[in-house]
Structure 1
Amino acid sequence: MISNPLVGVWAARALSVLRFIVGLVFFPHGTQKLLNFPPREGRAVELLSFMGFAGTLEVVGGALIMLGLFTRPTAFILSGMMAVAYFMSHFPRNFYPTLNGGDAAILFCFLFLYISVAGGGSWAFDTFRMREASSTR
């Protein structure tokens, strides 16, 4: 295998882009639950309910993931949340994800699990904070 230093640099940058896009796509799921935006049938959920808790995790977690702030613990929590969401909401409808509407929940679960292990990439606030902390020592 040929070693190319650019591959490592661009892999970390691509991870940052993936992290940002995942957070950007995830965030509106929470705003839809909490604020009914983008509009959907029904109304916003109660904040002090299970769905309100899920919406809060989606808004706060999605924002933190987009910023790359507290990336690993946030992604780990969101991965677990999506596993719970799949088995509570989608799996009882049907065994097959294509029929139960759980495709996105599964993808989010494993994307967040990957991000919790890989970190935020080179363009994350966590990375900048670590650089600042090491340069002040």
Structure 2
Amino acid sequence: MFDRISAYQPQLLSLLRIVAGLLFISHGTAKVLGFPAMEGLPPVDFTLAGLSGPFELVLGLLLVLGLFTRPAAFVAAGFCAVGYWMVHGMQGPIPLVNGGETIALYCFVFLYFVAAGPGPWSLDAAMGKRR
């Protein structure tokens, strides 16, 4: 059974990238566009917290499209690692206790894309086929 499912690994990699990118974008839209409306979000300015929304929008979009996937995922993973330790890590090292399990998971999913690439459903793959 698992051998049959393994045949879909490349497509599932693309699906994971697309879903993770869309979820990451939603953090950016909440901070930049106010949708969905959430309380306690940082204002968009030139501080690290203020730039988090635009970063999430741009990097999330690149990941959804599968464009410059590895560099975008590398930057996103680093961004999440810094965000985890600056915001959540100050409240203790355990993600479940400090509220950082989501950003920690994003960090390692994005790190996986750095190694695995975008999968077949991506602009990176489409551009590679043209060369």
Q: TM exceeds 0.5?
A: yes
Which residue does 2:101 correspond to in 1? 103
Q: Which amino acid is the alignment partner of residue 123 of structure 1?
A: W
CA distance in 1 between counterparts of 2:49 and 2:32 reads: 9
Q: CA separation in 2, counterparts of 1:87 and 1:43?
A: 18
Q: Quick one: structure 1 residues 92 and 122, their matched pair in 2 at CA, closer, same or farther if it must change by over 3 Å?
A: same
Aligned residues: 129
Q: Residues 33 and 51 of structure 1 are in contact (CA less than 8 Å); yes or no, is this contact kept in structure 2?
A: no
- 1:51: how far off? 2.0
- Deviation by residue 1:50-107 (Cα, 9 ceiling, x = unmatched): 2232111100000110010000000000000000000000011122211100000110
Kept in 2: contact 1:16–1:120 (CA 8 A): yes
Is the Cα–Cα contact under 8 Å of residues 88 and 99 in structure 2 kept in the other structure?
Answer: yes
Stretches of structure 1 that go unaligned for 5 or more consecutive residues are: none
Relative to 1, partners in 2 of residues 1:5 and 1:101: Cα closer, same or farther, differing over 3 Å?
closer
Q: Does the Cα contact within 8 Å between 1:35 and 1:44 map onto a contact in 2?
A: no
Quote the residue 1:122 is aligned against: 120
**Is contact 1:23-1:66 (8 Å) kept?**
yes
* Cα 1:68–1:31 shift into 2, 3 Å: same
How far apart, in 1, do the equivalents of 2:52 and 2:70 lie? 19
Which segments of 5 or more consecutive residues in structure 2 lack a partner in the other structure? none
**TM norm structure 2:** 0.91
- Summarize the Cα distance change of 1:22–1:97 in structure 2 as closer, same or farther, 3 Å threshold: same
Within 2, Cα distance between the matches of 1:98 and 1:34?
27
**Max radius of gyration: which structure?**
1
Q: How does 1:14-25 map to 2 (within 5 A)?
A: 14-25=12-23
Match of 1:80 among 70, 78, 81: 78
Specify the alignment match of 2:59 in structure 1: 61
Q: For 1:14-35, what per-residue CA distance to the aligned partner results, in whole angstroms no more than 9, with x for missing partners?
A: 1000000100111111111112
| Identical amino acids, percent of aligned pairs | 40
